[in-house]
Amino acid sequence: MGENEVMTLSTVPVVTDTLNNINVHWSTGLKNHGIVTVQFSSESRDQALIAELITTRHLLFTRQIFGRKPISGKGYELHVFSGAIKKIAQGRSAKEHIVPYGLFLTGPMFGVQIKVMKQQYTDPLFGSSDTQQLDSIDASDNGNLIPQELWETPMGPLYITRHAIEQYEARLNERNRDPVANPERSFFNAMTSNRAYSFRKTTLPESVLKHKLAKYGDDNLEVWRNPESNLHVTILRRENAPGILVTSYYRDV
């Protein structure tokens, strides 16, 4: 797939004859398509919409249908059936019970293009039964959603917040004459590539530490520094759960 080629995912939710099951037909092209059956334990509002969101997240981040885990929404386009998905991405949705299922659209998929297409599952794009890839998801497994995706780093498995990426972009642009072209890719390279093994846990001046403890309200804060770049990251540790990388900044020592 070319560097500038847009990766397009089309989805259409279909109510089935099986109680509380929604089939979401998906396609990335005539040769790659399938059906994800989303199973709900009981009847609930907006099942088709929730199923379309769960399926989209599953295909992008678990199945990685484009061959990699997205680090931003740039270069991706979603052709969705439910218009509410676009409202969620724009922060205009009044469906508060749905918003958690779409947090990935404003987190790791920030900047994704969304078009409401109202396609039909019978369209040739979605293929025939003999070529469709079949999958199923239990909707209850998606009840406790986190707006970030999990990344393996030398500092352990981490959820990386959008705020951390935006802070990195802002500070990097201050240091460079020209704005960084792809801050997400640059940031994730800094966190997950071989150079990330240079990070070491460090301590902060007491005044700075007090400020961060007041801001994040937790004693389980760690600060890591890469001595090669003076990039610092703040990580919130939680018991029996991955850490959360909450912010990043440059500080000269």
pLDDT of residue 137: 92
Confidence of residue 218 (pLDDT cuts 50, 70, 90): low
- Residue spans of the domains in the chain: they are 7-142, 150-250
pLDDT of residue 85: 94
Domain 7-142, CATH class in plain words: alpha beta
- Residue 175 is which amino acid? R
CA proximity to 10, closest of 175, 124, 90: 124
Burial 169-208 (b: 16+ CB within 10 A, else e): bebbeeeeeeeeeebbebbbebbbeeebeebeeeebeeee
Q: What are the tens digits of pLDDT across the range 155-188?
A: 998 888 778 888 888 888 777 766 666 777 788 8
* The token pair that represents 133 in the structure block: 């890839």
**Beta carbons within 10 angstroms of residue 122's beta carbon:** 11
Rounded distance between C-alpha atoms, residue 121 and residue 100, angstroms: 26
Range of lowest pLDDT (33-42, 168-177, 205-214, 236-245): 205-214
pLDDT of residue 203: 82
Cβ-count burial of 22 within 10 angstroms (0-12 exposed, 13-18 middle, 19+ buried)? buried
pLDDT of residue 150: 78
CA proximity to 184, closest of 172, 176, 198, 196: 172
Q: At what angle do helices 183-192 and 162-175 cross, to 10 degrees?
A: 100
pLDDT of residue 60: 94
> Rounded to whole angstroms, what are the CA distances from 71 to 104, 139, 182?
11, 24, 10
Q: What are the tens digits of pLDDT across the range 63-100?
A: 999 998 888 888 999 999 999 999 988 888 888 788 77
pLDDT of residue 1: 53
Burial 101-120 (b: 16+ CB within 10 A, else e): bbbbbbbbbbebebeeeebe
